[in-house]
Every structure is written in C-alpha cells, then in structure tokens.
C-alpha cells in the first residue's frame, strides 16, 4: 500500500477550497433568502420603536396624579380620550387626567406613566354596564415611568444591526422586516451541475435491461446539494463515448461547480478521464480515506468559438460507488458549497461518542464508518450499520453519522471514544 503517496483528507480539502470563492451578491425579496448570507452591512434608517410607547393596555397618566394610590385610597382621574396602536395621540394628558392606551401606542404628550387595566377599576365599571367611561379609578401607585418603552429601545437610527456575513434565519429575517427592508443583498446560491457517467446506468423509471443498473448518484448527490443550500442542475447520464461525454461536460460548464461520478479510479479503463483532461486541468488523486479513495479535482475551461478561455469551472470527480460518492461529497463538496455561499464555518461538525463495536482499519486510510449515533443518559453511543462495502447504499440510509477511525490507528475497540460526523441531527429530522 503506497499510503505515503496518498493525499490526506485535510490536504485534499485545502487544495480544493483554494479554487472556490464567495459568490457575488444578488438582491432578493426577504422571504426568498432564508439560509443565505448577508452581502452587506445593514444599518437602521429608523428608531425602533420610533416613538416612546406603551408596553401594556392601560391608562397614560402623569405620575403625580397617581402618587399614593391604593385600592383603599384610589385616585379618580378624568378619561380624556383613547389612543390605539398605530394612531397618534391627539390630546395631551393634564394633571388629574388619563388617556386610555393600547399596547404599542405612542405615549401622549404630558404622560409619563402607564397604569395597566388590572390596576384600575375599568373591569368593574364594565361589569356594571358603564358605556363610554368618563372617569377611572387608579388602585395602585406605580413607579414613575412604569410601562413606558422609550424610543429606540431596540434599535437606534444609524445603528449597525446585522453585519455582512450574517446567515439569515427566521429571526434575522424578522429583524430585517422590522427595519422596513423588503429586499436585501445576499450571496447567491451556487449552481452545481451533477453528471453521472457509465454505459451501465439507466435512469430510474426506465426499464432495466440485463447487465444494467439504475443511476443512484445523480439523485443522492443532487439531494445533498439541495440540502446544503446549492441549486442542483441535473445533467443526467453520459455514456462512455466521446460525443456523449463532451456534450454533457459542455452543458455543465454553465455552473459554479461540475460534479461527476465514476470514472476517476487510477486503474480505470475510462474515457471520462481523457475527456476531462482534454477540457481542462484535472488531477487524479488517491485520498487516504475509506471509502472514496479515488478523487478527481481540477478546473475545466469554458471557451468561446475561437478557443479563448472565458471561464474556469471547478470540477469534482467523485467515485462511482454510491456510498463512496456520498462520503466524498460530505468531505469535499459540502465545504465548497458553503464557502461559495459565504458561510464562515464549513468544517463538518463532529461530536464524541462511545464506540459500541470495533472498527478495523487494515490499510492505513482514515475510515468513515457508517454509524447510528444515539444518546442514552446524556452520553452518545455509536454502532455501525453492518456491512461497510461501498456499494451497500442501504447501510448509508440506516446511518445518521460517520464514525471516524484515524489513518494511523489499525483498530478501534468497543468502548473507545470515537469522533463522529453527524449526517443529521435530531433537529434536522424536523
């Protein structure tokens, strides 16, 4: 085993990431950019709240008018009017007067304190059948300024509220709405062309003739692209001949990344490598990992009719085995997508679990074993999903994690602590 000539996972990823940059901004409607990253600093043009306002339904009063109030010694005030949320108060609160006020409504001139309904006799008066109230008894002295929210309590005009690079979740989208932003500049989502190669492949839904198998990788990889926020462009299946491959690869050049599956093993009898090498600069790597040792990476050139290079399009060539291609996508495709989207953290998150059965590592590669991680009494445990052959996709469907055995560890025993990459959190299943 020539493991010395193999690339480590880290080195392969580092080389790959140098080819990707944060994509350009686009201007989008607020509800269309969940999960995208802000491409601009957002400052507020307004104070929030814009005016001092009431945090309760109640009566706006001058504090001096209610000083000393108790249920035994209530203060009787004249009701001067009413102000609803969204209206401006037209009257002023004078000594001995009160204005009925709704939550969120601006504080009338003259008032400095809000007395909530429950500290007045309003409910009692209503029960007695009083119609429009002309006076109200205050049953409690509150502190001066009670239930008054000052202007700009949440955000001051000119304040930086969300900075460039922030990922937009539901709460950030709410914050942008509160500033009055109907549209916002975000980093656009990358378009990822997905191409399966191989004469043996048939599209699902078609009849399977003897010797053929259904194309899996187009679906598992395109779904993975979607999951991490990219826009998959499905190119379908290229046959193993020059015309078919050339045409499909050409189609894929109008994307931010072309992902192919199969045809990248070092020993392979495969036209895929010839076409790719002819179209650009592609390296064929052996990565010190299992599954997914063979990997191709490089750039393809989009040329005009005169042959001049218009654009470089990164190319990631994943292995043909469905498990290998998914595991390699997680390690190399996912970070590329996240980097293009402007996300800051594209390392795959890991946690530590107790291994419940051994992982054998017989050839010095880093093993990504399909595993089921579960939590019992606050501790994570990892068991494997059975046969780890890279053609066994059902084992990937059973797994929710990849348990990692380092390249220099020939065997991990049951009971040892193992690093696991989560494929989906419990939260993600929602």
**Interface with its own copies, residue 50, by CB under 8 A:** yes
Query: Which residues, numbered 270-329, are part of the site for its own copies (CB under 8 A)?
Result: 320, 322, 326
Rounded Cα gap, residues 406 and 421, in angstroms: 13
Per CB under 8 A, the segment of 73-81, 201-209, 252-260, 278-286 that binds its own copies is 201-209
**Interface with its own copies, residue 49, by CB under 8 A:** yes
Tokens representing residue 246 in the block:
């050339």
**Nearer residue to its own copies within complex by CB, 4 or 88:** 88
**Nearer residue to its own copies within complex by CB, 302 or 400:** 400
**Nearer residue to its own copies within complex by CB, 300 or 403:** 403
Query: Which residues, numbered 359-378, are part of the site for its own copies (CB under 8 A)?
Result: 378
Query: What's the min distance (Å) between Cβ of 394 and its own copies?
Result: 6
Tokens representing residue 206 in the block:
């078609």
Query: What's the min distance (Å) between Cβ of 312 and its own copies?
Result: 25
Tokens representing residue 288 in the block:
């010190």
Rounded Cα gap, residues 19 and 312, in angstroms: 9
**Nearer residue to its own copies within complex by CB, 94 or 392:** 392
Per CB under 8 A, the segment of 7-15, 135-143, 146-154, 251-259 that binds its own copies is 146-154
93 alpha carbon, distance to own chain's centre: 50
Query: Which residues, numbered 202-221, are part of the site for its own copies (CB under 8 A)?
Result: 202-206, 208, 210-221
Size of the site for its own copies (CB under 8 A): 108
Query: Which residues, numbered 383-422, are part of the site for its own copies (CB under 8 A)?
Result: 389, 391-394, 396-397, 399, 422
Helix axes 271-279, 242-252, angle to 10 degrees: 50
Rule CB under 8 A: choose which of 128, 243, 345, 377 binds its own copies.
345
The candidate with the shortest Cα–Cα distance to 190, out of 389, 24, 17, 390, is 24
Rounded Cα gap, residues 244 and 258, in angstroms: 16
- Cβ-contact 355, 380 below 8 angstroms: no
Question: Which residue in this structure is represented by tokens 């040892």?
Answer: 416
Rounded Cα gap, residues 305 and 319, in angstroms: 32
The candidate with the shortest Cα–Cα distance to 49, out of 182, 150, 177, is 150
Rounded Cα gap, residues 335 and 357, in angstroms: 30
The residue ranges of DSSP E strands in 226-357, in sequence order, are 231-238, 257-261, 280-286, 289-290, 294-303, 309-318, 350-355
Per CB under 8 A, the segment of 10-18, 67-75, 173-181, 355-363 that binds its own copies is 173-181
Rule CB under 8 A: choose which of 15, 346, 374, 381 binds its own copies.
346
**Interface with its own copies, residue 331, by CB under 8 A:** no
Residue 16's φ and ψ, nearest 5 degrees, are: -65, -45
Query: Which residues, numbered 52-91, are part of the site for its own copies (CB under 8 A)?
Result: 55, 57, 84-88
Phi-psi region of 334 (alpha: psi -120 to 50; beta: other; left: phi over 0): alpha
Query: What's the min distance (Å) between Cβ of 315 and its own copies?
Result: 21
Rule CB under 8 A: choose which of 28, 94, 164, 178 binds its own copies.
178
**Nearer residue to its own copies within complex by CB, 201 or 296:** 201
Tokens representing residue 344 in the block:
């800051």
Mask for 113-142, x = binds its own copies (CB under 8 A) = ----xx------------------------
Rule CB under 8 A: choose which of 64, 76, 160, 226 binds its own copies.
226
């Amino acid at each position: 085993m020539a493991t010395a000539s193999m690339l480590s996972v880290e080195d392969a990823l580092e080389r790959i990431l140098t080819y990707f940059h944060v994509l350009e901004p686009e201007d989008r409607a607020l509800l269309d950019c969940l999960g995208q990253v802000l491409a601009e600093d957002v400052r507020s043009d307004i104070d929030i709240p814009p005016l001092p306002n009431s945090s309760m339904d109640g009566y706006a009063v001058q504090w001096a008018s209610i000083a000393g109030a108790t249920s035994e010694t209530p203060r009787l005030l004249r009701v001067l009017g009413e102000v609803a949320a969204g209206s401006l108060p037209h009257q002023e609160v004078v000594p001995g007067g009160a204005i009925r006020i709704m939550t969120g409504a601006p504080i009338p001139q003259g008032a400095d304190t809000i007395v909530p309904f429950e500290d007045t006799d309003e409910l009692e008066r209503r029960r007695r059948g009083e119609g429009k109230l002309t006076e109200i008894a205050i049953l409690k002295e509150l502190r001066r300024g009670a239930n008054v929210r000052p202007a700009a309590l949440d955000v001051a005009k000119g304040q930086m509220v969300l900075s460039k690079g922030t990922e937009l979740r539901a709460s950030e989208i709410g914050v942008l709405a509160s500033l009055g932003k109907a549209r916002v500049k975000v980093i656009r989502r990358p378009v990822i062309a997905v191409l399966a190669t191989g004469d043996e492949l048939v599209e699902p839904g078609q009849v399977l003739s003897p010797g053929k198998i259904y194309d899996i990788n187009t679906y598992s990889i395109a779904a993975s692209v979607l999951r991490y926020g990219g826009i998959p462009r499905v190119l379908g299946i290229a046959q193993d001949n020059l015309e078919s491959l050339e045409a499909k690869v050409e189609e894929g050049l109008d994307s931010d990344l072309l992902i192919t599956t199969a045809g990248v093993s070092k020993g392979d009898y495969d036209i895929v490598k010839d076409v790719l090498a002819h179209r650009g600069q592609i390296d064929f790597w052996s990565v010190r990992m299992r599954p997914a040792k063979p990997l191709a990476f490089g750039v393809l050139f989009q040329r005009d009719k005169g042959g001049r290079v218009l654009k470089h399009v990164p190319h990631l060539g994943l292995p043909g085995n469905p498990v290998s291609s998914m595991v390699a996508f997680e390690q190399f495709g996912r970070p590329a997508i996240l980097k293009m989207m402007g996300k800051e953290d594209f390392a795959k998150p890991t946690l530590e679990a107790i291994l419940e059965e051994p992982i054998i590592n017989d050839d010095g590669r880093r093993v990504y074993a399909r595993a089921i991680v579960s939590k019992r009494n606050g501790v994570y445990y990892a068991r494997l999903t059975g046969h780890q052959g890279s053609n066994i996709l059902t084992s990937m469907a059973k797994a929710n994690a990849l348990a990692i055995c380092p390249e220099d560890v020939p065997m991990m025993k049951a009971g040892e602590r193992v690093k696991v990459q989560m494929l989906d959190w419990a939260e993600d299943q929602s």
